[in-house]
């Protein structure tokens, strides 16, 4: 079977580092965590707040046209900002593409949760049974993807994947399949997560300062972040036909889930599967963008998997040390940053990392390093023992219309 | 590009208001039974309609694994049934080559309801993180119980989600990412969702009457349906029973409105046409349409228009049924339940009736099966699913 691939022509990232990809990569290269850490209160009760790293929605609003701002949730706001940046980055004018030939694939986990809770609260507490009909549809997981489709008039495939931190890889795989099957010429692959105040009661609070320490010997758990990320994926022909500039190629993806609570096994399966799908040589792997977030067990499992499949010497960075655990947005953010890394030929350091856990055999970046080989691996995982991997390379050769 | 490898259905499982096994479900549906009644799990005093299609409480109590949300339990049970039906024993296949994908509207969020409404709630009593912030559990838990380590995802394309999960599974098999996929849809009725639809004034007071001139809206339902999909060559090699085929599918975005369909059925027409084209079929190959048919004035009119546009004059020869008249709108579970019913329709050449269809609507000029089930030679079924935010997924199913 001919390998299914996709061309990345634009990226957009909204994190605590800022509203654009340059801010994010520059921030990571500095080695510092994103500066926008604030407390988010729980709702409706005064339970322990948690610290979130992410852009203030008010700041995200400023980046969008006012016509897009009515009755919009924080997650849709963030997704809009990332998607618009990706389209601008790709220099794609939506007027130049047939609406039926561009689609959307979004990864999320909490989209709509806050609206869901508030609708319930209002309807029951006020005993009227009436909640605002304009807010009801925003309770859906698919609201950000659907809203994006309406705003951009994308009439191609539109799907929302709920696969936790692996969802972005899932969305990427869906998009690649859509391009390969000629169901679309372009797909916006996105991830978005804004931590819902209602969910705070159910999330583990992070004691002490917001400082996740991926792979570090003294790590003591993840910390949370809001994020949005978008990648414009195109077929090679479509990109060439419109005079687009290919930035990188997604060579293959794979996802896995362990039914036996074996995260390391799932990660090995995903990494191996992605490499096999990509037909890329292991010797060509120059970096790994890991999903490590400071979790004691999770980081260890990932480290062992990376060491097993890629080897202990592949430079590995974990961006969640800088942006926090942003669950369903993480993998697309990792992939977007991998594109920037490929272009700049530099691998960012891992914010928060100082000393490697002695049980791990891994080369974790603690300063910017040169990217010496072309293949970059993106690996994502979550605590439910799901894992996913994507293989990226620079775009090789001239775009062709064939 | 159509579906290249032939994808077949080798197992089915159902948890529904009309039966907690596939055969009980089919016996009721084909007889025109209606699973709609007074809602018992919630305070409905403030709602315009107190009715819906609930799974009976005794069936809930009989479910194993009582420590997880209802939707998770039902997904797992339906998956177990389908796997058993497919004779897909735990060790028969490489576990890394068997995956699970369920579609849903609300995921596991109903757990939020009980907690938020509990006056004594605390951080300690908050549902475990898994329960309400990890909708992926709907596919991961069935995989965990069945020992499947292959592709695993939950798809949320609103009320099209069940069909989207079927499409996901078919694609995974097409691209050789799996040898078998357990796919389906699931949702439970939640109080918040009732409030949302109540706010739209979209709830019918007494019955759901799709395509009827006097239709007044929908009613919420719940349940789960699961199917095992395999490549035909693999299924035959292991001697599996084949229930039917997935011939084509198409996902499009209507890109029109957050709740209303495009008035000319733009997305619906395209999805149906593409699904048929990918199946290598034309309008005259369609023997039956299992409609989305919610019973709302807007949806049914637009769907009827779209079916007419796609099938043309052939529409006069195509019997249409709408099972939400019996099952309510099971949200993410709806199109999966309807897909199972479509497969059984083709197995038995028996089209279930649309319950309470009494007065034809000139704006819905279709051959609606009404009164009692109708016999026919049904080899190909087009099953439609349309969701909020313009998510549309139509699937073409074929006989075994």
Check pLDDT > 70 for residue B131. Answer: no
Report phi then psi at B7, rounded to 5: -105, 125
- Confidence label for A46 from pLDDT (cuts 50, 70 and 90): confident
- Residue A391 to residue B222: CA distance in whole angstroms: 40
Q: Bigger pLDDT: B187 or A136?
A: B187
- CB contacts of A180 in chain B (<8 Å) are 1
- Confidence label for A264 from pLDDT (cuts 50, 70 and 90): very high
Contact with chain A for residue B251, Cβ under 8 A: yes
CA distances from B375 to A188, B210, B319, B347, B354 (A): 45, 21, 10, 11, 14
Check pLDDT > 60 for residue B354. Answer: yes
pLDDT tens-place string over residues A345-361: 999 999 999 999 999 99
Query: Is A162 in contact with B136 (Cβ distance < 8 A)?
Result: yes
The mean per-residue pLDDT over the stretch B300-313 comes to 98
- Confidence label for B58 from pLDDT (cuts 50, 70 and 90): low
Check pLDDT > 90 for residue A389. Answer: yes
Catalytic residues of B: 159, 292, 329
Separation in Å, CA of A368 to nearest CA in chain B: 35
Contact with chain A for residue B176, Cβ under 8 A: yes
Contact with chain B for residue A121, Cβ under 8 A: yes
pLDDT tens-place string over residues A298-312: 999 999 999 999 999
Q: Bigger pLDDT: A224 or B63?
A: A224
Could you say which DSSP state residue B39 is in? -
Nearest CA in chain A to B142: A259
Separation in Å, CA of A365 to nearest CA in chain B: 31
- Helix axis angle, A113-125 to B191-199, nearest 10°: 80
Could you say which DSSP state residue A145 is in? H
Check pLDDT > 80 for residue A194. Answer: yes
pLDDT of residue B36: 97
Q: What is the average pLDDT value for chain A, to the nearest integer?
A: 92
Residue B117 tokens read as 């409404």
Check pLDDT > 80 for residue B266. Answer: yes
- CB contacts of A137 in chain B (<8 Å) are 196, 258-259, 388-389
pLDDT of residue A65: 80
Check pLDDT > 70 for residue B1. Answer: no
Which residue, among B39, B131, B136, B145, would best test binding to A if mutated, counting the most A CBs under 10 Å from its CB? B136
pLDDT tens-place string over residues A312-331: 999 999 999 999 999 999 99
Contact with chain B for residue A224, Cβ under 8 A: no
Check pLDDT > 60 for residue B62. Answer: no
- CB contacts of A201 in chain B (<8 Å) are 121, 123, 126
- CB contacts of B95 in chain A (<8 Å) are 259
**3-class DSSP string for A64-102:** CCHHHCCCCCHHHHHHHHHHHHHHHHCCCCHHHCCHHHE
Asked whether the beta carbons of A215 and A318 are under 8 A apart, the reply is yes
Report cis status (omega within 30 of 0) of the bond before A44.
yes
Check pLDDT > 60 for residue A388. Answer: yes
Contact with chain A for residue B46, Cβ under 8 A: yes
Could you say which DSSP state residue A26 is in? H
pLDDT of residue A401: 34
Q: Which residues contact B314 (CB under 8 A, 6 or more apart)?
A: B283, B284, B286
Give just the sign of the alpha carbon dihedral A271, A273, A278, A280: positive
**ipTM of model:** 0.96
Query: Is B133 in contact with A113 (Cβ distance < 8 A)?
Result: yes
Check pLDDT > 50 for residue B275. Answer: yes
pLDDT tens-place string over residues B63-111: 444 467 899 999 999 999 999 999 987 657 899 999 999 999 999 988 8
- Confidence label for A293 from pLDDT (cuts 50, 70 and 90): very high
The mean per-residue pLDDT over the stretch B160-171 comes to 98
- Confidence label for A397 from pLDDT (cuts 50, 70 and 90): low
Span of B151-160, B194-203, B300-309, B330-339 with lowest mean pLDDT: B194-203
Contact with chain A for residue B147, Cβ under 8 A: yes
Check pLDDT > 90 for residue B154. Answer: yes
Separation in Å, CA of A269 to nearest CA in chain B: 8
Check pLDDT > 90 for residue A126. Answer: no
The mean per-residue pLDDT over the stretch B9-29 comes to 98
Q: Bigger pLDDT: B123 or A68?
A: B123
Query: Is A259 in contact with B149 (Cβ distance < 8 A)?
Result: yes
Check pLDDT > 50 for residue B250. Answer: yes
Residue A29 tokens read as 């290269």
The mean per-residue pLDDT over the stretch B313-323 comes to 98
pLDDT of residue B118: 82
Separation in Å, CA of A140 to nearest CA in chain B: 7
Query: Is A155 in contact with B253 (Cβ distance < 8 A)?
Result: yes
Contact with chain B for residue A202, Cβ under 8 A: yes
pLDDT tens-place string over residues A72-121: 899 999 999 999 999 999 999 999 899 999 999 999 999 999 999 998 98
* C-alpha atoms less than 13 angstroms from C-alpha of B287 in its C-beta half-sphere: 18
Q: What is the average pLDDT value for chain B, to the nearest integer?
A: 93
pLDDT tens-place string over residues A15-37: 999 999 999 999 999 999 999 99
Model pTM score: 0.97
* DSSP secondary structure of B225-291: EEEEEEEHHHHHHTT----EEEEEEEEEE--S-SSSPPTT-HHHHHHHHHHHHHTT--GGG--EEE-
Contact with chain A for residue B298, Cβ under 8 A: no
């Amino acid at each position: 079977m001919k390998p299914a691939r996709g061309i990345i022509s634009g990226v957009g990232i909204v994190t605590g580092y800022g509203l654009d990809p340059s801010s994010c990569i520059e921030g990571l290269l500095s080695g510092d965590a994103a500066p926008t850490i604030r407390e988010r209160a729980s709702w409706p009760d005064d339970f322990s707040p948690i610290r979130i790293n992410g852009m203030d929605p008010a700041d995200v609003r400023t980046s969008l046209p006012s016509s897009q701002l009515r009755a919009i949730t924080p997650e849709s706001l963030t997704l809009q900002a990332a998607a618009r940046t990706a389209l601008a980055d790709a220099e794609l004018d939506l007027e130049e593409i047939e609406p039926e030939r561009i689609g959307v694939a979004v990864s999320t986990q909490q989209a709509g949760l806050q609206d869901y809770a508030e609708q319930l609260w209002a309807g029951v507490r006020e005993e009227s049974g009436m909640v605002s009909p304009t807010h009801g549809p925003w309770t859906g997981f698919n609201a950000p993807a659907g809203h994006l489709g309406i705003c951009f008039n994308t009439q191609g495939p539109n799907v929302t994947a709920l696969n936790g931190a692996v969802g972005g890889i899932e969305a990427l795989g869906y998009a690649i399949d859509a391009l390969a099957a000629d169901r679309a010429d372009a797909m916006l692959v996105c991830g978005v997560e804004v931590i819902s105040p209602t969910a705070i009661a159910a999330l583990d609070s992070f004691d002490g300062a917001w400082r996740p320490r991926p792979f570090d010997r003294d790590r003591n758990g993840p910390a949370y972040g809001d994020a949005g990320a978008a990648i414009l994926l195109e077929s090679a022909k479509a990109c060439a036909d419109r005079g687009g500039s290919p930035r990188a190629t997604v060579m293959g993806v794979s996802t896995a889930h362990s039914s036996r609570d074996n995260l390391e096994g799932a990660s090995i399966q995903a990494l191996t599967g992605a490499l096999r799908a990509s037909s890329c040589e292991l010797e060509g792997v120059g970096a790994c963008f890991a999903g490590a977030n400071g979790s004691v067990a999770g980081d260890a499992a990932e480290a062992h998997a990376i060491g097993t499949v890629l080897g202990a010497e592949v430079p590995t960075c974990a961006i969640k040390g800088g942006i926090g655990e942003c669950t369903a947005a993480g993998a697309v953010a990792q992939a977007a940053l991998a594109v920037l890394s490929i272009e700049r030929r530099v691998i960012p350091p891992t914010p928060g990392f100082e000393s490697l856990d002695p049980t791990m055999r891994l080369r974790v970046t603690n300063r910017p390093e040169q990217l010496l080989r072309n293949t970059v691996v993106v690996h994502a995982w979550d605590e439910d023992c799901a894992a996913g991997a994507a293989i990226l390379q620079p775009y090789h050769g001239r775009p062709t219309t064939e | 590009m159509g579906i290249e490898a032939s994808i077949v259905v080798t197992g089915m499982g159902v948890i529904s208001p009309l039966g907690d096994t596939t055969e009980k479900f089919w016996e009721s549906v084909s007889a025109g039974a209606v699973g709609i009644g007074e809602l018992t799990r919630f305070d409905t005093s403030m709602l315009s309609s107190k009715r819906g299609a609930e799974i009976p409480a005794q069936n809930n109590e009989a479910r194993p694994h009582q420590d997880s949300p209802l939707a998770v339990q039902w997904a797992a049970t339906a998956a177990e049934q389908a796997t058993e039906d497919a004779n897909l024993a735990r060790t028969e296949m490489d576990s890394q080559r068997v995956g699970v994908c369920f579609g849903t509207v609300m995921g596991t969020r109903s757990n939020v309801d009980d907690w938020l409404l509990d006056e004594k709630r605390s951080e300690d009593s908050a549902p475990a993180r898994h329960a309400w912030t990890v909708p992926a559990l709907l596919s991961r838990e069935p995989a965990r119980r069945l020992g499947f380590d292959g592709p695993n995802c939950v798809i949320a394309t609103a009320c099209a989600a069940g069909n989207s999960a079927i499409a996901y599974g078919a694609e995974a098999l097409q691209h050789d990412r799996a040898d078998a996929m357990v796919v389906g849809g699931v949702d439970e009725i939640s109080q918040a969702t009732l409030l949302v639809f109540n706010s739209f004034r979209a709830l019918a007071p007494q019955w759901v009457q799709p395509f009827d001139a006097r239709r007044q809206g929908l009613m919420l339902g719940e349940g789960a349906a699961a199917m095992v999909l395999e490549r035909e060559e693999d299924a035959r090699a292991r001697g599996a029973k084949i229930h039917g085929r997935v011939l084509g599918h198409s996902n499009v975005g209507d890109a029109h409105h957050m709740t209303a369909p495009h008035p000319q059925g733009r997305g619906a027409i395209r999805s149906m046409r593409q699904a048929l084209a990918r199946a290598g079929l034309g309008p005259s190959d369609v023997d039956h349409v299992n409609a989305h048919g919610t019973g709302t004035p807007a949806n049914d009119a637009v769907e009827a228009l779209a079916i007419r546009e796609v099938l043309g004059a052939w529409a006069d020869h195509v019997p249409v049924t709408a099972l939400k008249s019996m099952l309510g709108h099971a949200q993410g579970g709806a199109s999966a339940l309807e897909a199972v019913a479509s497969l059984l329709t083709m197995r038995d050449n028996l089209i279930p009736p649309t319950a309470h269809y009494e007065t034809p609507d000139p704006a819905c000029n279709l051959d609606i099966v009404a009164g009692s089930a109708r016999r026919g030679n049904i080899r190909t079924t087009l099953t439609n699913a349309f969701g909020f935010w313009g998510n549309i997924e139509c699937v073409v199913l074929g006989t075994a």
